[in-house]
Amino acid sequence: MPILTSLAYNKRADWHTDNQKQPIENGHMNRTELLSSIKTQSPDILIVGAGINGVGTFRDLALNGADVLIIDRGDFCSGASAASSHMAHGGIRYLENGEFRLVREAVQERNRMIENAPHLVKPLPTVVPMFKLFSGLLNAPFKFLNLLDKPAERGALVIKVGLIFYDAFTRAQKTVPPHKFEGRAKSLEKYPKLAQDIKFTATYYDGQILSPERYTVELLLDGEKDGGKALNYVSFVGAEGDSVTLRDELTHSTFNIQPKIIINAAGPWVDLINRTFGVSDRYIGGTKGSHLVLDHLELREAIGKNEFFFENKDGRIVLIFPFYDKVIIGTSDLPIQDPDEARCTPEEEQYFIDLVSRVFPAIKVSQEHIVFRFSGVRPLEYMQAKTTGQITRDHSIKEDKAGNIPVLSLVGGKWTSYRAFGEQVTDKVLAFLGKSRRADTLKTPIGGGAEYPAISLAQIEYIKKIGEETGLDNLILKHLFERYGTRALEIARFIKETSAEPTKSLPGWTVGEVRFLVEREKAVRIDDILIRRSTLAWLGNVTRPVVEEIAAIMGASLGWSPQQVEAEVERTLGILKEYHGVVL
């Protein structure tokens, strides 16, 4: 899992802030300057953990003028938040657990994600194949009575009732269309490779997050523009009295700050952080979820633009998901003790491969189709439950102290509900600091979603205007717009000022674009770019020449020696192999 790849490989590539001398331009502060400013003047608020919940809170606090610093011992969005199924969804199956408030909140937040970040979150038609009519009618009441270990297969009637509720929760927003049911004949006409014994399909809409990592990074950069400070590769060591000790994981040097309040947003590692200052309560009971990315043309064509969301033969809810020209399949829901040990196992791989035959029996999938694996731990609240599926996905705030400093631990939560969770935390922190809320994030655009042209003709005109200003090739600008939305203009200007030279190993990329990710988006390791600032590794587009070329460009920006460049290449190859099953 990506969260600790920086720590696992740090000793193979030690280097120092002296080697990060990219210039400060247009108000952009380099890492050395940022560290210096924090050591000189402590922030009021320290957020530990830069996954989606931490960054969502950071962005809200910064928007409201709070003095806030967020740190992560790895890269931003490199842990649990990076192991998302890439769905912005309400969690229709949690209606069965009676979690109506959670589902209502999540579907409303799904719509806000689609509206506020239209370049990264798209409406996603989701198809539910059904093989029975009445099955599962007693699932919900039996769960309430704690009599159900394994649900009966959900039939069409149960799913229909659930979708009526699902639509009702956001009818007023009208962001996505309502659901519809279709019978066997119509379903097989639309999806000819679907299993012949289906009785119905239902189609409803959720959201597709094209890159959870980019979403999180752009949200974080927005928070920095509002005055927040953000550092990756800085870890929390401990707290005593009024002081907190942090460590720069790139140099292994430590320093102290004196925040007024700490927000523990470390996800599956919340309890580990709390133990450093003596809090022994167990808040997290996470479960592991793994996925595969497949390069499988037949399966990709069979699903079209639709996610297929269904119940496997063992009762586990699984998915087959369109991801650019690839397919994501998953997910598992397994108890795990140590989140650092999360990997996609051979047993999970085989389970995922086999699940395809449940709905597409004629399509054969094998390990040769896998281009990327990813696994992470859901930071669920610790509770006793007969099945992992019954553990709540709701969120809560726990209050403790680190020395004399109040600590708020963020427990649980769904990716999709991050904004609402962050709003609750922000309100609590502002009240503690005696400040009033002056802005909310309900309709605040995220990154390249600001003034995004939704209509195709408007997008063409937008790209054309950037070309007229910068003189860059139209194809390069098209790629920039697809990757970054309306931030394409800022990046195109940067490329014009630095280097429009095409990269040798990456079609559609320029040297200037890579430099932008280093000098403006805080990428300090090669995997930051390959896995989190882009989808290159996810889509199977990384070769050894790609790694070496990215290393050379980064080395030139960050002042790496030839030995450091070589060490970073080897470190990256090790990460891709160990955590993602990619052997180059």
174 or 255: which leads in pLDDT:
255
Closest CA to 308 of 323, 325, 289: 323
418-449 exposure pattern, b = at least 16 Cβ within 10 A, e = fewer? bbbbbbebbebbbeebeeeeeeebeebbbbbb
Task: Say which CATH topology domain 451-580 has.
Answer: Helicase, Ruva Protein; domain 3 (1.10.8)
**Whole-number pLDDT of residue 157:** 81
Is 337 a residue whose pLDDT tops 80? yes
**Whole-number pLDDT of residue 270:** 97
pLDDT class of 285 with cuts at 50, 70, 90: confident
Is 435 a residue whose pLDDT tops 80? yes
Instruction: Say which range, 9-13, 398-402, 564-568, has the weakest mean pLDDT.
Output: 9-13
**Whole-number pLDDT of residue 460:** 97
Residue given tokens 């669920």 in the structure block:
380
**Mean pLDDT across 556-572:** 97
Is 250 a residue whose pLDDT tops 60? yes
The 10s digit of each residue's pLDDT in 166-207 is 788 877 777 888 889 999 999 999 999 999 999 999 999 999
The 10s digit of each residue's pLDDT in 469-480 is 999 999 999 999
Side chain identity, residue 352: F
**Mean pLDDT across 157-165:** 82
**Distance in angstroms (rounded) separating the CA atoms of residues 518 and 326:** 27
Q: How would DSSP label each residue in 246-292?
A: EEETTTTEEEEE--SEEEE--GGGHHHHHHTTT-----B--EEEEEE
Instruction: Name the segment(s) of the chain with CATH classification 3.50.50.60.
Output: 2-80+213-281+392-433
Q: Can you give the length of the chain in residues?
A: 584
**Whole-number pLDDT of residue 413:** 86
pLDDT class of 161 with cuts at 50, 70, 90: confident
Task: Say which CATH topology domain 2-80+213-281+392-433 has.
Answer: FAD/NAD(P)-binding domain (3.50.50)
**Whole-number pLDDT of residue 382:** 79
CA 432 to chain centre: 29
Instruction: Name the segment(s) of the chain with CATH classification 1.10.8.870.
Output: 451-580
**CATH level 2 (architecture), domain 102-208+285-390:** 2-Layer Sandwich (3.30)
**Mean pLDDT across 3-29:** 41
**Whole-number pLDDT of residue 286:** 82
Side chain identity, residue 202: A
**Whole-number pLDDT of residue 557:** 97
Closest CA to 540 of 310, 294, 322, 349: 294
Is 6 a residue whose pLDDT tops 80? no
**CA dihedral sign of residues 511, 517, 520, 524:** negative
Side chain identity, residue 383: M
Question: Among residues of the chain, what percentage have pLDDT more than 90?
Answer: 77
The 10s digit of each residue's pLDDT in 367-398 is 999 999 999 999 988 765 555 555 666 789 99
**Whole-number pLDDT of residue 137:** 45
**Whole-number pLDDT of residue 166:** 79
Instruction: Name the segment(s) of the chain with CATH classification 3.30.9.10.
Output: 102-208+285-390
